Structure 1
Amino acid sequence: MNRRQQRGITLTSFLVVLAVLGFAAFIAMKLFPMYQEYYAVRSAMKGLSGEPGVGDMDPAKIQDLFFRRLYINYSENVKPADVKFERIDNGWQMRVNYEVRRDLVGNLDVVGKFDTTQDLTRQGSAE
């Protein structure tokens, strides 16, 4: 008697692959908003660097403009205490350093630490 050999993946193997892919999608859904907010912060900082005369502005005014830009992107994790300014030769160096913590599963959290800088020069040109 000649048996045909079956090929392919069994139902159990398919369920294991599906569970792994589902868990990876779950992790991605938790991480995506954190990185989306980080790119909104970067975009706001780059936009500020293009403002004419930003290097001559008061840091409080620059911070106000920065948070107005973040408000449009529904950013909720960056606080005024996370934004620091340091005087450089031709303007300011703006640094945003913040942390985001999200629940993952049960008592496990995922933590994202974000730190970025942008030079804000008198000419208003991006770095």
Structure 2
Amino acid sequence: MNIHGGIARRQRGITLLGFIIVMAVVGVFAYIGFKLFPMYQEYYAVKTALKGLANEPGIATTDPARIQQMFLRRLDMSYAQNIKKEHIKIERGDAGWVMTVQYEVRRPMIANLDVIGKFGAVQNLSRSGNAD
């Protein structure tokens, strides 16, 4: 019995060492998330810009150099920095153009370890003006 007249109970819970370990694991995952999030945010901007181009009136008859310029301008508004002209390929398709964007992003992670993301997106730019 304890001094309050009740039966002594064993306390349960996390120890300070256990709490520190859990916080360290959470911190590592948060750090990795902060490193990866901008890469995927940029990829989402690429996909959005491609869909926006596909909905442009008359895109299927537009000159490929002009399409590339329009695409890069849309990316500039999204602060996408890793996509260059050499990552963009525009080929003639059945009903217009097929635009392919393939690029790689390398970010330093911890010390001499880097994370590399390879991204690719394809969009039909057709005469109908509908995004595929």
TM-score range, shorter chain: over 0.9
Task: Give distance in 1, aligned partners of 2:57 and 2:71.
Answer: 14
Gaps of 5+ in 1: none
Task: Give distance in 1, aligned partners of 2:87 and 2:81.
Answer: 12
Task: Give the aligned partner of residue 78 of structure 2.
Answer: 73
AA in 2 matched with 1:32: F
Which fold has the larger relative contact order, with Cα–Cα distance below 8 Å and residues 6 or more apart in sequence?
1
TM-score by length of 2: 0.93
Gaps of 5+ in 2: 2-6
Task: Give the aligned partner of residue 30 of structure 1.
Answer: 35
Superposed displacement of residue 4, structure 1 = 2.0
Identity percentage of aligned residues: 56
Partner residue of 1:111 out of 78, 103, 116 = 116
Q: Deviations over 1:31-63 (max 9, x none)?
A: 000000000000000000000110111110000
Q: Which has the larger radius of gyration?
A: 2
Task: Give distance in 2, aligned partners of 1:79 and 1:51.
Answer: 22
AA in 1 matched with 2:90: F
Partner residue of 1:52 out of 51, 54, 57 = 57
Q: Deviations over 1:57-87 (max 9, x none)?
A: 1110000000010000111100000000121
Task: Give distance in 1, aligned partners of 2:19 and 2:44.
Answer: 36
Task: Give the aligned partner of residue 102 of structure 1.
Answer: 107
2:90 alignment partner, SS class? strand
Aligned residues: 127
Q: Deviations over 1:69-116 (max 9, x none)?
A: 000011110000000012111001100000000000000000000011
Task: Give distance in 2, aligned partners of 1:123 and 1:59.
Answer: 17
1:85 aligns with 2:90: yes
**4+ residue runs over 6 A deviation:** none
Task: Give distance in 2, aligned partners of 1:122 and 1:53.
Answer: 7
1:19 aligns with 2:24: yes
TM-score by length of 1: 0.97
Say if 1:54 and 1:123, in contact at 8 Å, map to a contact too.
Answer: no
